[in-house]
Amino acid sequence: MNAKRLPVTPFLRRVLVADAAISAAAGVLMILGANVLEARLGVPAWLLRSAGIAFLPFAAMVWLAATRATLPRGAVLAVIGLNVLWAIECVLVLATGWLDPTPFGVAFIVAQAITVVVLAELEWVGLRRAVLAAG
């Protein structure tokens, strides 16, 4: 096996599938529910819709990665990096006061940050296991 390609182990596959499913579900929720969520979250509908639209290609990319037998290490690192970047952006949105979300909106943003950090950590574990499996 090419040293730069790693097997998609069952653990890594499950984590990638979970990431894709969560991202797709959140994207659809934010796109379709933007007008309703705006008042409850204190986040503008255009921003919710835009973020939801951005989630869908990410979810498709992660789903595609999960269906492969092998992946370049960089592909998994890119997914991890994008998850970490989203978590940082969530924290910055709250820390800078760029938005004035409701308490439910703060919880929604914090939940996103926590979710993607947990997924990134699990993907990191999966990457390490794949490296070991590749020998």
Q: Evaluate the CA torsion angle 87, 91, 26, 44 in order and state its sign.
A: negative
Burial of 80 (0-12, 13-18, 19+ CB in 10 A): buried
pLDDT digits (tens, 9 = 90+) for 76-117: 999 999 999 999 999 999 999 999 999 999 999 999 999 999
Total residue count of the chain as it appears in this document = 135
pLDDT digits (tens, 9 = 90+) for 5-51: 899 999 999 999 999 999 999 999 999 999 999 999 999 999 999 99
CA 49 to chain centre: 16
What pTM did the predictor assign?
0.92
Under the banding of pLDDT at 50, 70 and 90, the label for residue 4 is confident
Number of domains in the chain: 1
CA nearest to 127, candidates 5, 27, 26, 36:
5
In order, the DSSP letters of 67-102 are T-SEEEHHHHHHHHHHHHHHHHHHHHHHHHTSS---
At 8 the three-state DSSP class reads coil
Residue 85 has which token pair?
């970047």
* pLDDT for the residue numbered 3: 54
The domain in which residue 92 lies consists of 5-134
